[in-house]
Chain A
Amino acid sequence: MAEIQILGVSKAYGGVPALDDVTLTLKDGSFTSIFGPPGSGKSVLLRLLLGLETVDAGQILIDGVDVTRALPSERNLGMVFQNLALFPQLTAYENIAFPLRRRNTDQAEIDKRIDGLTGVLNIGHILSKKPAALSGGERQRVAIGRALVRDAGAYLMDEPIAALDARLRDDMRLELKRLQSELGKTFIYVTHDCDEAMAVADQLAILNEGRFEQVGRPEDVYGDPATLAVAELVGAPRISVLPAFGDSDGMKFALGRLAGEKAKGECLMALRPEAVRLTPGGKGPCSAPVTDIERLGAFAIVTAGRDGAQVRAITEGDSPLQLGAEVEITVDPGGMLLFDPATGVRHA
C-alpha cells in the first residue's frame, strides 16, 4: 500500500524536454490512468517512477519517503509490461513464482500467495501450462499475476492489454478494474487509448508534450476539459474545432452566432459530435451539405459543412441522411466549448 507523489519532475534528452516540471499525487488505493498521445512522455514517467532512469529535477516520494535516487529494487513497485516478457521454458505457475523465488521465499508462502491470486485472475486451470500453450488473454493474466504476487506498494502497467483483440480487451479491462477494487492497491495504468483510460480509472491524468494538461475524475475531464488539447484528445469521434467569427460571413460566422453572447471576440469553438444535430432540408443560416458519412453500425459519423468549416455529428447507425443532402446544423447547449486561440485555455 502506498501513496506516490511526483513533485516538479523534469527530464530531458539531449536538451529536448520529455517531461517538464510535472506534479501528480497518486493516493493510496487509487486507480490512476495516465493518458497521452505517442511521444507525450508517458513511458518516460513510468521509467522514472520505477527508477530505471533518474530525474533531472524534482522529487519522487513513496509514502512520504524520498526515493528520487533510490534503486529500482528499493522502491517496491510491481510492473506489468506491454510485451509480457514471460519465460517460455517455465510453466505459468513458475512464471508467477519467479519474483518470490528470487527473494528466497519459502514454498509454503509461494503456494499461499499464488493460491490467493488464482481465484481473482481465473488461472487455476492453466498453472501447469507453458506460455506457448496459452491464449493471449491467459498469458496476459499470468503476466499480471507475476506482478501482483509480490506484495508491492503500487503496481504500474504500461499498455498491458494493447496487444489483445478488441473483445478480449473489453474483458481484461473489467478484470483489472475488479482486481484493483478487490485488492485495494494503488494502480497506475499508462495507455494511449482514451476510452480505456476513462473506463478503468478513478483519476485520469492527461499528459501532452511533457506536461499534465488536466488531472481529475474521468467524467469531469470529459465534460469539462480545461484546454483545447484535452478536448481534442479525449473523446471519439473527434470534437470539431473551428474559429467562431473567423470570417465576416460564411459558415464559420453563422456557426459562431450559435455561440451567442458567450463568444467574446476571437475564440475557438469546439463542438462535441454527440451535441451536434443535423436536420434534413436545412434552409437557415447554418445550412450545409453532408460531405462524409461513416456508418459504424451502432452509430454513424456524419460530416456537414461548407466554406472550409466542417462539423462532425453522431447520428443513429441507420440514419437516412445521404451524401450531398442539405442539412441545418444546430448544437445542444453544453456541447459547445469555447477556447482562447492563443493559450488554448477554456473560456469560463
Chain B
Amino acid sequence: MASVTLEDTSKTFGDFTAVRNINLAINDAEFVAILGPSGCGKSTTMNMIAGIEDVSGGTIRFDGADVTNVPMQNRGVGFVFQNYAIFTHMSVRKNLAFGLEVQGVQQSEINRRVEEMAEFMALSHRIDAPSASLSVNELQKLAIGRSAIVEPSIFLLDEPLSNLDAAFRERMRSDLRQLQRSLNQTMIYVTHDQIEAMGLADRIAVMDQATLQQFDTPENIYSRPENTFVAGFIGAPSMNLVRARIAERDGAMFADLAGREADAVALDDRLSSQARTHGGAALTFGFRPEHLRISDQPDAGTLAAQVVLVELVGRRKLVHFSTGQTRFVGSFDRTVSLRPGEAANVSFDLGKCHLFDPNTGLRLQLGEDD
C-alpha cells in the first residue's frame, strides 16, 4: 500500500511532448483511472509511475519518498498489461505461483494463496490446465490474478479489458471492484473507455493532448465537467455542445440555440447568473442527451425542433433533432413514440445543463460548489 504523487512531471521524446507538467496526488488504497483518447499521454504517465520510462522533468513520490530515479524492479509495483504476457507453456497454477516463488514464499503458503486466487478468479476448475488452452477471457483473468497475488504496493493496469467482449467486460468490472475492495491496494488503471473509468474508479484523471484536464470523482466528472473536452468525452452518446446567443429580455435571460430569437430558451436562475457574470453574448450551451424532455405545448422553456432520425440502441431510443443550423441528440426510454419528420417541443433539465466560455472551453462557475 502506498500513495503516489506526481509533481510537475513531464515526458518528451525529442520535439514531441507526451506528458506536460502533470500534478497528481493519488491516495493510499485509492482506485484511480487515467482516461483519455489514444495518444493523450495516459500510458506514458503510467510507464513513468512504473519506472519503465524515465521522466524528462518533475518528481514521482511513493508514500512521500522520491522514487524518480529508482529502477522499476525496486519500486514494488505490479503491472498487468493489455497483452497479458502469460507463460503459455505453464499451467494456470504455475503461472499464479510464479511471482510468489520468485519472492521465496514458503510452499504451503504459496499453495494456499494460489488456491484462493484461483477461486476468486473463478479459475479453480482450470487450475491444472495448460495456459495455452484458456479462452481470451480466462487468460485475462489469469493475468490479473498473477499480478494481484503478490500483493504489490501499487497495482497498475494498462487497458486490461480491451480485448474482451462486452458482456464479459461488464462481469470483469464487477470482479475488479471486488478485488480492489478485498486487497485494499492502490490501483491505477489506464483506459480509453469512459464506462470502465466511471464504473471502477474512486477518482478519474482525464487527459488530453499531454495535459491533465480534470482529476475528480466520477460523479463530478460527469455532472460538473471542467471544460468542453471533459464534457464531450464523458458520456455516451456525448454531451450536446451548442452555440448559444445570450440575450436579456424584461430582466430574464434567454439562450437562442437555433438562430431564432423568438424561440430562445428561458434560462433558470443558476444559468442566468452565470451568463450575467460572464457577460458574453455568445456562449456554448451544454446538455446531455438524457437531460432532454418532450413537452406537449411550446412555452418559454421549450425549443421547436424536427426529428431527423431515430436509433434504437438496446433499452434506449436515440433521437436526432435538428433546428435551424443546430443538431443535437436526445436519449429516451425505448417506449417514446417519435418518428423522423415529426416536430417536437424539446425542453431541458436546466439544473443539469451547463454554459461554457466558447474561447477557453471552461465551464462557467459561480463559486467552488457550483
Interface size class of B (residues with CB under 8 A): 35 or more
Which one of A9-17, A146-154, A230-238, A261-269 is at the B interface? Answer: A230-238
CB distance from B362 to the nearest CB of A (A): 20
Q: Which of A179-220 contact B (CB under 8 A)?
A: 192-195, 198-199, 218-219
Contact B234 A297 (CB under 8 A): yes
Most buried by A among B223, B309, B311, B318: B311
Contact B198 A297 (CB under 8 A): yes
Instruction: Type the 1/0 row for A278-315, where 1 means its CB is closer than 8 Å to any CB of B.
Output: 00000000000000101111110101000000000010
Whether, in the assembled complex, B236 has its beta carbon less than 8 Å from a beta carbon of chain A, the answer is yes
Whether, in the assembled complex, A222 has its beta carbon less than 8 Å from a beta carbon of chain B, the answer is yes
Instruction: Type the 1/0 row for B116-146, where 1 means its CB is closer than 8 Å to any CB of A.
Output: 0000000000000000000010000000000
Instruction: Type the 1/0 row for A131-160, where 1 means its CB is closer than 8 Å to any CB of B.
Output: 000000000000000000000000000000
Contact A303 B174 (CB under 8 A): yes
Contacting A295 at CB < 8 Å: which of B198, B232, B334?
B198
Contact A317 B222 (CB under 8 A): yes
CB distance from A314 to the nearest CB of B (A): 8
Contact A294 B234 (CB under 8 A): no
CA–CA, A237 to B309, complex, Å?
A: 24
What chain A residues lie within 8 Å of B234 (beta carbons)?
297
What chain B residues lie within 8 Å of A174 (beta carbons)?
309, 311, 320
Whether, in the assembled complex, A88 has its beta carbon less than 8 Å from a beta carbon of chain B, the answer is no
CA–CA, A234 to B167, complex, Å?
A: 9
Contacting A199 at CB < 8 Å: which of B236, B311, B315?
B311
The total of Cβ contacts below 8 Å across the A-B interface reads 93
Known contacts A166-B236, A167-B232, A170-B237; is-contact A237 B312 (Cβ 8 Å): no
What chain A residues lie within 8 Å of B38 (beta carbons)?
165
What chain B residues lie within 8 Å of A303 (beta carbons)?
174
How many residues does chain A have at the interface if contact means C-beta atoms less than 8 Å apart?
A: 40
Contacting B290 at CB < 8 Å: which of A178, A193, A294, A298?
A298
Whether, in the assembled complex, A53 has its beta carbon less than 8 Å from a beta carbon of chain B, the answer is no
Whether, in the assembled complex, B284 has its beta carbon less than 8 Å from a beta carbon of chain A, the answer is no
User: Nearest chain-A residue to B195 (Cβ)?
Assistant: A296
CB distance from A137 to the nearest CB of B (A): 12
Whether, in the assembled complex, B93 has its beta carbon less than 8 Å from a beta carbon of chain A, the answer is no
Q: Which of B261-279 contact A (CB under 8 A)?
A: none
What chain A residues lie within 8 Å of B233 (beta carbons)?
167
Whether, in the assembled complex, B314 has its beta carbon less than 8 Å from a beta carbon of chain A, the answer is yes
CA–CA, A167 to B331, complex, Å?
A: 15
Contact A195 B313 (CB under 8 A): yes
Whether, in the assembled complex, B152 has its beta carbon less than 8 Å from a beta carbon of chain A, the answer is no
Contact A297 B218 (CB under 8 A): yes
What chain A residues lie within 8 Å of B170 (beta carbons)?
236-238, 301
User: Nearest chain-A residue to B200 (Cβ)?
Assistant: A294
Contacting B312 at CB < 8 Å: which of A219, A272, A318?
A219
Whether, in the assembled complex, A177 has its beta carbon less than 8 Å from a beta carbon of chain B, the answer is yes
Known contacts A165-B38, A170-B237, A198-B312; is-contact A193 B177 (Cβ 8 Å): no
User: Nearest chain-B residue to A274 (Cβ)?
Assistant: B315
Whether, in the assembled complex, B37 has its beta carbon less than 8 Å from a beta carbon of chain A, the answer is yes
Most buried by A among B170, B173, B237, B314: B314
Known contacts A170-B238, A238-B167, A318-B219; is-contact A195 B199 (Cβ 8 Å): no
User: Nearest chain-B residue to A298 (Cβ)?
Assistant: B290
What chain A residues lie within 8 Å of B171 (beta carbons)?
238
CA–CA, A111 to B351, complex, Å?
A: 52
**Other contacts beyond A294-B199, A297-B223: 14, CB < 8 A:** A38-B165, A167-B238, A173-B311, A192-B165, A194-B314, A218-B312, A222-B334, A232-B167, A235-B314, A236-B167, A238-B171, A292-B174, A292-B177, A297-B235
The 4 closest A-B pairs by CB, nearest first: A297-B222, A199-B311, A294-B199, A298-B290
Q: Interface on B for A, CB 8 Å cutoff? A: 37-38, 136, 165-167, 170-171, 173-174, 177-178, 192-195, 198-199, 218-219, 222-223, 232-238, 288, 290, 309, 311-315, 318, 320, 331, 334
Q: Interface on A for B, CB 8 Å cutoff? A: 37-38, 165-167, 170, 173-174, 177-178, 192-195, 198-199, 218-219, 222, 232-238, 272, 274, 292, 294-299, 301, 303, 314, 317-318
